[in-house]
Amino acid sequence: MLEPPSRPLDVYRWSDHPESNKFVNQIYDEWFAQDAPDITKKHLKVILLDIYVGWKTHPDTTIGIAMSQTYYRANSRYNALHISSKAISITKRLVDVGLLEWDKGWPGFGEKRGKMSQFWPSEKLKEMFTRVRFGLEDIITHPDKETIVLRDEKKKDIPYEDTPEIARMRELVRDYNRLLEHTFVDIPKLNEPVIIIPPKRPYDKPTRIFISQNQKFTRRIFSNSSWEQNGRFHGGWWQRIPSEHRKDISINDGPTVEIDYSGLHAVLVYQRKGIDYWKEIKTDPYQTNIKGLSDKESRAIGKCVLLFSFNLTDETKLFQAVKSELQQEIPHYRFTFDNLREVLASLREMHPHIEEDILSGIGLNLMNIDGKIAEHILTRFVASDIPILAVHDSFIVPVRQDGFLRTCMREAIEDVLSDYQVNTKQIGLGYQQWHSVRHTDYSYFLSLRDEIAGTGVTPTQGYRYRKQMFDEYLKKQGW
């Protein structure tokens, strides 16, 4: 059974639409007029707009708002709007005047986790929401939100000093977000913009991934207090949906193609040893042979074990992670530690040159390299004003840009890895690939026309409405 969606308050929810300001002023004048106007209206705006976004995305959404003063760090680089503990008193008054309902949370003690208080609009506020003259498309992530994040070993955001290199990285991510802001990214076959992900474990519950223009903001995240670990681009909803749905993504109402690097992390580990994998080894790095399983299933397990082994240092945690990831996908395989230990042993035999890197925790260093590769590719696309969706070592572009993407991916490898070879794999038909058969099989060339033009899928009514709303937003913005 699906639980109501819940998420923390987004303190960067913002809108410059005149009607949103009018709405906030109405609430302020009626219930907050005795408070300092500037700071109160700013906090009201963030809270009300995020409650509105949650309600419009799914009517049962609850928003977690911390009611402890120690939670708020108004002067942090990760809180550029300076949302302070004043959010607590404003939220309480919104409850007192009947605009918000709530479920009180509790603090954590020791290893026992607490629960953040949950809030949702009352019937009175919902009725007010139905009369506002702005929509989801008019609500954005504030442009001052920090796009370069440094986290410590406990995955907490930590402060850092700016350098020219960090400023350069930040400007690229901000430029990329500006490109995404006026790019319509959706899935035409979805009438309701949501994908339900089945649970991976029997005791888990299904989860929802909302397909929304409010879910495109991207940041670059570094780990373990180091600029040499991680550094991937994180953000858009396309990173969170199952891979089989990505082929259905449309960019600006047109079909897309996805191209990724084949076996990139395994190749990068070999590269650190001075070995060019695809020139010297030339075999699928993940293809194991597990009795009773198909080649595809064996490869899925081999890939999961090898990639997870780069990220972890403990064998038990590795096997638990693999079981959690694949048990529902391959239910007829017994994910016992003994069976997985055999898979790990076979991978060690397949990869003697990098045996010492298995269970070494090298993964974040590899992510740093693929983050630099992605940076090179995004830089080229942003400079050309061509939309692109990054999924770490995979990239989704409009179908006519497959040739440009391949060029950029090749140049990125040359720039980051010198002359090492990295293969690519394409999902979906690209324009360059389509034209390559024009003179060899013209009938086949014509038969693929609908796929290239994106006319093979009939968009749902819900998709058409979302596209219309986005087009109206672009028109108002002068794009």
DSSP assignment string, 147-182: -EEEB-TTS-B------HHHHHHHHHHHHHHHHHHT
Q: What is the Cα Rg of the chain in Å?
A: 24
Asked if 270 contacts 353 with a C-beta cutoff of 8 angstroms, the reply is: yes
Q: Is 146 exposed, middle or buried (0-12, 13-18, 19+ CB in 10 A)?
A: middle
In sign, the C-alpha dihedral spanning 237, 241, 247, 253 is negative
Residue 475 DSSP label: H
DSSP class per residue in 351-391: -GGGGGGTTS-THHHHHHHHHHHHHHHHHHHHHTT---EE-
pLDDT score recorded for residue 430: 62
Closest CA to 176 of 189, 187, 185, 164: 185
Residue 3 DSSP label: P
pLDDT score recorded for residue 299: 97
d(CA 31, CA 263): 58
Residue 250 DSSP label: E
DSSP class per residue in 446-472: HHTHHHHHTTTS---HHHHHHHHHHHH
Question: How many angstroms separate the Cα of 220 from the Cα of each of 76, 83, 180, 476?
Answer: 17, 22, 15, 30
The strand pairing partners of 103, in sequence order, are 118
Q: Write down the number of H helices and E strands in the chain.
A: 17, 17
How do the pLDDT tens digits run along the chain, 479 residues long?
688 899 999 999 999 999 999 999 999 999 999 999 999 999 999 999 999 999 999 999 999 999 998 889 878 999 988 899 999 999 999 999 999 999 999 887 777 788 899 999 999 999 999 999 999 999 999 999 999 999 999 999 999 999 999 999 999 999 999 999 999 999 999 999 999 998 887 778 899 999 999 999 999 999 999 999 999 999 999 999 999 999 999 999 999 999 999 999 999 999 999 999 999 999 999 999 999 999 999 999 999 999 999 999 999 999 999 999 999 899 999 999 999 999 999 999 999 999 999 999 999 999 999 999 999 999 999 999 999 999 999 999 999 999 999 999 999 999 999 877 788 888 765 656 555 655 565 565 555 555 555 556 789 999 999 999 999 999 988 88
List phi, psi (to 5°) of 186. -160, 180
pLDDT score recorded for residue 441: 57
Closest CA to 214 of 244, 169, 177: 177
Asked if 286 contacts 266 with a C-beta cutoff of 8 angstroms, the reply is: yes
